[in-house]
Amino acid sequence: MLIVQKFGGTSVGDLERIQNVASRVCETKKAGNDVVVVVSAMSGETNKLIAYAEHFSKNPQRAEVDMLLSSGERVTASLLAIALSEMGCAAVSMTGRKAGIVTDNIHTKARIEEIDPTALNKAIKEGKIVVVAGFQGVSQDGNVTTLGRGGSDLSAVAIAGAIKADLCEIYTDVSGIFTTDPRIEPRAKKLDKISYDEMLELASLGAKVLQNRSVELAKKLNVNLVTRTSFTNEEGTLITKEENIMEKPLVSGIALDKNQARVSLVGVKDRPGIASDIFTKLSKSSVNVDMIIQNEGRDGKANIDFTVPVSDLDDAKKVMNSFVKESEVDEISYNENICKVSIVGVGMKSHTGVAAKAFSVMAAENININMISTSEIKISMIIDEKYAELAVRALHSAYELDK
């Protein structure tokens, strides 16, 4: 088989763990497979580098941030290649650029435009294990870019697609996808399989075990994706097409996203095109808007509330201030002490009462719901951040996910 194995930050967190990863990769190779490895930076490294940049500037140039952050993954890639060669498993490390990962030029959250796997395929043909530095690519104009936090997952899936790998294994610090974050609810259960769509919702709604764009791409390219732990030989979770899953639970999982902020606009000029102006400008500044509520206008003024990831808040503020300056909006306030709790399950398509149940669980815990949004397979609620864990555990138990 041709296998892509991605190791996250904890799995390569220190030299002993890198040695451990080398043994695992070498074993896979010696069992007769071709292996491409994608590595993250050592755990904590990316945060450390961001803090270094922020020591000098509150708003460092993003191209420089990319130059800086991409170094974390290069360290682990080269160390792993050295450890592998020492074990007698010929290996070569590659940067994102050498691996042919071409992106757009949106620094710190670039999108992959194409992959040219020539160098990868050549090294594989020569019998080498290729170790690719995850999370990075190169823009058309030759600058280093990074793919957004958690982006090594995306590197792995994209490479698996480009070289038509039989399997893409994501090794992390938990043994698979659980019904909710096992760090919040220790009674969470590991799932054997989960559909791409449910996993995409969970990932988009805060379950950072897989980066959401990696799941989206895996679905599009039909990549066989498995999440498992690098610490034991336990079987992981297969992320696959919905039709491959026999038993469809009503609810598959609960996700929590604490990195959300609410933007409240008071006294918005109630004229045709204002929403279009606001949200087009936000989108042009690459601000990811999630939930939106607009109330009915009165005396020519309306209120609009929306949520954005905390990391996009500064950009959102810049855009919104321009509307205040032009007297299109009277007042703006921001609240970072909120979180989004979501319930995900394909079974919701054919069952009623799932949302009503979620609301009664919140009521029973005396938790006020600020905003609600639903889709075919998910219900999301914005609540006060201090109730985050309580809400997750209450919902997990109400839908009997611990059974």
How far is Cα 247 from Cα 237, in angstroms, rounded to an integer? Answer: 15
Structure-token match 């979620």, residue found: 358
Nearer to ligand ASP, 176 or 345 (CB): 176
Question: How far apart (Å, rounded) are the C-alpha atoms in residues 289 and 278?
Answer: 11
Site string for ligand ASP, 41-60 (x = CB under 6 A): x----x--------------
Work out whether 40 is an interface residue with ligand ADP (CB under 6 A): yes
Most distant CA pair in the chain, distance? 77
- Least separation, in Å, of the C-beta of 101 and ligand ADP? 18
Instruction: At 213, list the tokens.
Output: 């764009």
Binds 72, which of ligand ASP, Mg ion, ligand ADP, none (CB < 5 to 8 A, cut-off by type)?
ligand ASP
3-state helix, strand, coil in the chain (%, to 5): 35, 30, 35
Question: DSSP secondary structure string, 108-149?
Answer: TS--EEEE-THHHHHHHHTTPEEEEETTEEEETTS-EEE--T
Site residues for ligand ADP, 106-165, by CB under 6 A, read 150
Among 100, 137, 151, 253, binds ligand ASP (CB under 6 A): 151
Interface with ligand ADP (CB under 6 A), residue from 96, 100, 253, 345? 253
Return the one option of ligand ADP, ligand ASP, Mg ion, none that residue 46 interacts with (CB less than 5 to 8 A, by type). Answer: ligand ASP
User: What is the rounded distance in angstroms from the CA atom of residue 203 to the CA atom of residue 199?
Assistant: 6
176 is an interface residue for ligand ASP by CB under 6 A? no
With binding defined as CB under 6 A, does residue 174 bind ligand ADP?
yes
Q: Over the Cα atoms of the chain, what is R_g?
A: 22
Lookup: tokens for 2 = 């041709």
Find which of ligand ADP, Mg ion, ligand ASP, none residue 345 binds, CB within 5 to 8 Å per kind.
none
Tell me, by CB under 6 A, how many residues bind ligand ASP: 13
State both tokens at 298. Answer: 């009165």
Cβ-closest position to ligand ADP: 8
Q: Angle 293-299-304 (CA atoms, 0-180°, nearest 5)?
A: 15
Rounded to whole angstroms, how far apart are CA atoms 15 and 211? 25
Q: Which does 230 bind (CB under 5 to 8 A by kind): ligand ASP, ligand ADP, Mg ion, none?
A: none
Distance in Å, CB of 134 to ligand ADP, minimum: 9
Binding residues (CB under 6 A) for ligand ADP: these are 8-11, 40, 150, 172-174, 177-178, 180-183, 202, 207-209, 253
- Give residues in contact with ligand ASP (CB under 6 A): 8-9, 40-41, 46, 72, 134-135, 149-153
